């Protein structure tokens, strides 16, 4: 197999391999910090993008606050690696998952969760009652509010207040805030439209927080946002925290929506393995290397050449213009993923390089952690 050690050059890697340009990645992190730090809003990156405690630590060192994950199994990996200021942004339902949450809370008292229903909150509270933790700490809880994505979340306003009153009767949960993710706005291409709709969603979220405070709930955290909206969320009234994730690597879908303020730092290195005709070649990166749920990936630095998958192991690059495409069997191609999060989930390791020399190898530690 191709070597994969610090000090090796990218040319020594077998393909497909997931590679990260450290200079570009570090610039992306610095840009996000410089963009949001003046607002005073906390940056809590969503780690479902990187799936890596190593990168979580780098983000915290750069000035971010803890991290978000989607699932309990992801949080377990982060806590095991010393990243214990974690917010789980998906509802935790079902006895097996709740049991794992309680065990995790014993090791990570700064853990945060969301709920959007009385059954969800009550089951977690009952599990804490049945398995008391020394000192009887309360689990920090936020109410998940639907701000327009129409996925999870209780309706804003009065329905959120009703749920807050129910949570206040649960002795092992501590209501600290509200969470509202406007995921439906992340990839709106018009900047003005994305900004205006985001402002509307933030108004709904902050007004709901105000309603809870007016009814004597101590709401300290109002958390929201993603890569496509973080700058608007952070400058909206009442928002205390944002959760961008994809900015660190970027992908085709986000670039098409929000532009090139952040650059593509992650690519999938592949090899041309066949040239059936002058204007088409086949590479060794198909559906097992690149996802297609958000459209097709793009070859880096090859304008006019488009990619389609040819099944699990193969992909085709086609040249629309007259004449030969200029690619030959054995050429190396870097593919820019169309959707970064699920593409990362297809790979075991990142090979992080600087100017073509590998500096670090990072395992994709939460790959497949869907529970």
Residues 247, 312: one domain? no
Mean pLDDT, the chain cut into blocks of 10 residues (371 residues total): 81 97 98 97 98 98 98 98 98 98 97 98 98 93 98 98 98 98 97 98 98 98 98 98 98 97 98 97 98 98 96 96 94 98 98 98 97 97
Structure tokens that stand for 90 in this block: 């998906």
Report how far apart the first and last C-alpha atoms of the chain are (Å, whole number).
32
Query: Which ranges in 49-110 belong to alpha helices (H)?
Result: 53-62, 72-80, 95-107
CATH code (residue 297): 2.40.37.20
Residue ending a domain, choose from 196, 221, 254: 254
Q: How far is residue 296's CA from residue 128's CA, in Å, rounded to a whole number?
A: 46
Query: Which ranges in 151-190 belong to alpha helices (H)?
Result: 158-168
Task: Using alpha carbons only, give the angle 364, 370, 371 rounded to the nearest 5 degrees.
Answer: 130
Residues 315, 340: one domain? yes
Domain count, the chain: 2
Residues 247, 273: one domain? no
Residues 184, 88: one domain? yes
225 part of a folded domain: yes
15 part of a folded domain: no
pLDDT of residue 1: 46
| 252 three-class SS | helix
Residues 323, 217: one domain? no
Residues 231, 323: one domain? no
pLDDT of residue 4: 79
| 39 three-class SS | helix
2 part of a folded domain: no
CATH code (residue 141): 3.20.20.10
- Single out the residue of 262, 244, 249 nearest to residue 64, CA to CA: 244
221 part of a folded domain: yes
Residues 215, 301: one domain? no
Residues 229, 335: one domain? no
Residue ending a domain, choose from 231, 254, 277: 254
Residues 190, 339: one domain? no
pLDDT of residue 196: 98
Residues 241, 325: one domain? no
Residue 4 burial class via C-beta count within 10 angstroms: exposed 0-12, middle 13-18, buried 19 and up? middle
User: Omega before 80 cis (within 30°)?
Assistant: no
Q: How far is residue 276's CA from residue 285's CA, in Å, rounded to a whole number?
A: 16
368 part of a folded domain: no
97 part of a folded domain: yes
Residues 221, 274: one domain? no
Residue ranges making up the domain that contains 216: 22-254
42 part of a folded domain: yes
Residue ending a domain, choose from 228, 254, 280: 254
Q: Which residues contact 166 (CB under 8 A, 6 or more apart)?
A: 118, 121, 122
61 part of a folded domain: yes
Residues 177, 250: one domain? yes
């Amino acid at each position: 197999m191709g070597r994969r050690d610090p000090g090796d050059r990218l040319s020594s890697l077998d393909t497909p391999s997931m590679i990260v340009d450290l200079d570009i990645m570090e610039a992306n992190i610095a840009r996000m910090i410089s963009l949001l730090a003046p607002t005073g809003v906390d940056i809590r990156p969503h780690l479902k993008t990187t799936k890596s405690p190593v990168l979580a630590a780098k983000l915290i060192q750069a000035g971010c606050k803890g991290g978000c994950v989607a699932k309990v199994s992801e949080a377990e990996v982060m806590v095991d690696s010393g990243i214990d200021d974690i917010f789980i942004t998906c509802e935790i339902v079902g006895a097996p998952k709740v049991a794992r949450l309680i065990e995790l809370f014993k090791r990570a008292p700064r853990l945060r969760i969301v709920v959007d229903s009385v059954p969800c909150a009550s089951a977690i509270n009952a599990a804490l009652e049945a398995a008391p933790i020394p000192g009887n700490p309360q689990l920090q809880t936020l109410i998940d509010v639907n701000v327009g994505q129409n996925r999870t979340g209780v309706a804003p306003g009065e329905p959120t207040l009703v749920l807050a009153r129910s949570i206040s009767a649960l002795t092992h949960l501590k209501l600290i805030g509200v969470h509202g993710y406007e995921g439906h706005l992340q990839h709106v291409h018009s900047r003005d439209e994305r900004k205006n709709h985001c402002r509307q969603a933030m108004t709904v979220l902050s007004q709901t927080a105000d309603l809870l405070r007016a009814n004597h709930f101590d709401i300290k955290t109002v958390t929201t946002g993603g890569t496509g909206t973080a700058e608007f969320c952070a400058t909206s009234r009442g928002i205390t925290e944002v959760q961008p994730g994809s900015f660190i690597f970027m992908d085709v879908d986000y670039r098409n929506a929000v532009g090139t303020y952040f650059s593509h730092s992650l690519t999938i290195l592949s090899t041309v393995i066949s040239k059936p005709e002058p204007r088409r070649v086949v590479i060794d990166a198909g559906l097992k290397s690149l996802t297609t749920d958000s459209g097709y990936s793009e070859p880096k630095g090859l304008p006019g050449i488009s990619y389609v998958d040819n099944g699990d192991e193969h992909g085709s690059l086609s040249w629309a213009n007259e004449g030969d495409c200029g690619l030959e069997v054995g050429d190396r191609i870097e593919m820019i993923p169309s959707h970064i999060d699920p593409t990362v989930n297809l790979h075991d390791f990142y090979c992080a390089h600087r100017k073509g020399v590998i500096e670090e190898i990072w395992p994709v530690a939460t790959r497949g952690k869907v529970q």
